[in-house]
Amino acid sequence: MSIEVKVPVLPESVTDAIVATWHKQPGDFVRRDENLVDLETDKVVLEVPAPADGVLKSIAVESGDVVEANQVLAIVEAGEVPAEEKTESVAPKAAASPAPEAAAPTSAPAGGISTGSAGPAARKMMHENNIDASQVSGSGRGGRITKPDVQAVANMPMEERVPMSRLRQRIADRMVEAQSTAAMLTSFNEVDLKAVMDIRKKYKEEFINKHGIKLGLMSFFVKAATEALKKFPIINASVEGSDVVYHRQQNIGIAVATERGLVVPVLKNTDAMGLADIDMAIRDYAIAGNAGKLAMEDLQGGTFTITNGGTFGSLMSTPILNMPQSAILGMHTIKERPVVINGDIVVRPMMYLALTYDHRIIDGKDAVQFLVQVKESLEDPARLLLNI
C-alpha cells in the first residue's frame, strides 16, 4: 500500500518551510517514526517521520524547495522491512577500536600527490584539485601551506555567496522591525557579583550532589529579573496597536547562540521556578537548540529577554529588543576591577548591565529603577529569599 508523506500542519504564524535535508533516498528501507526529512522554518527545524515500515518509493520535492502545510513530500510503500535492515537501523554496528590517528603524510604514495606541510583544509583542497605541494608557496608559519595558498594556485574564487537560512532571514527581519518600530533606548549600570560568586563556590558540591547540575550564574539573573519585573510591571508589558498589554506571568526568554543562529527559548512562569529548575531548563534548551530539536512552543510566550554577550567576551553592548517585548537585559563579561567600598579600594568581580527598552511605554525612571533593583538583588541575594 502506498502512503503519502505530507508536510505537517505548520505552527501558528509560520506559512511555509524549506526542505533542508533528506535522510533517506528512494529505494531505502524505512521504519515507522524514523526521520525522513528535516524542514526548516523561520523558527525551528521540523522532523517528518515515516508513517509506516516499508520502502521510500519516491521523493516529490528536493532539498531547498519551499513547501506548505499538507503538501506531499514523498511516497512510502508500506511493507515488511528485512530483519538485517531493522537490526542495522535500530542498533548501530559495534564500532571497532579506533585506530590511532595517523600523522599527516608529508609525501604521497606512488601515483599520488605530495601535500607537504599543509593544514587539513589545505590538504583536502590540494587532493580535490590535484595540486602538488611543489606548486604551492606556503605563507603560514614555517612555510606551512594554508587554504588561501592553495586557492591562489587553483585560481579559485576568494569569496563564496550562499543564501541565508530561513532562521537567519527571520532574525534579520525582526532586528529591522525592532529598529523601525520601537523607540529604543539603553540604560547602563554595573553590579558587584562577589556575593553570588561566593554562594556558588560555597554550595557548589552540595548543589551538584542534590540536583545533578552545576549552580549557574544565569539562574541568579533570572530570579533577580523576575522580582524586578513584579515590582515594575511596565517592563514586562508589550505594545499592541494603541494598547499596552500587561502580562501577569514572568516568561523570560534566554538568548542561546546555536550553529543555525540565535534562538530564544522561553522559561515559563519563572516566579514559580527555583534556581535548579532554571539551570536544568537552560541546559536542556541549549542541548535542544544545538541539535535543532526545539519545539515551537519552546520559543513562544516570552514577555522579557536576557542575553549574555559576556559568554563571548563582550564588555559592553546595547541589545536589540525581541519584539513584541518592550525590554531586554544584557549581561556582559565579568572583570575584576578596583572599586571603592566603605572608603576602601578593593578588587571585585564586576559586570556591566544594559537594559534596552521601548521608550514609547517605558519611562527612563522605570528603566533605571528596574536596573537598580536587579543590581541590589544580585549584590545581596538574601533579598531574593526575603522578597524585598
* Residue numbers annotated as active site: 359, 363
Give the whole-angstrom CA distance, residue 56 versus residue 384: 57
* Burial (0-12, 13-18, 19+ Cβ within 10 Å), 168: middle
| 3 state SS for 151-178 | HHHHCCCCCCCCCCCHHHHHHHHHHHHH
Residue 273's contacts (CB-CB under 8 Å, 6 or more residues apart) are 222, 267, 281
Residue with cell 533570572: 222
Handedness of CA 17, 22, 26, 32 (dihedral sign): negative
Q: Give the phi and the psi of residue 101 in degrees, each rounded to 5.
A: -65, 130
Give the whole-angstrom CA distance, residue 183 versus residue 362: 10
Give the whole-angstrom CA distance, residue 366 versus residue 232: 7
Strands (E), the chain: 2-6, 17-22, 29-30, 35-40, 45-49, 54-59, 66-67, 72-78, 184-192, 238-240, 243-245, 252-254, 256-258, 261-263, 266-267, 304-308, 327-331, 335-341, 344-358
Give the whole-angstrom CA distance, residue 388 versus residue 381: 10
- Helical packing angle, 120-128 and 147-154, nearest 10°: 20
Give the whole-angstrom CA distance, residue 48 versus residue 16: 14
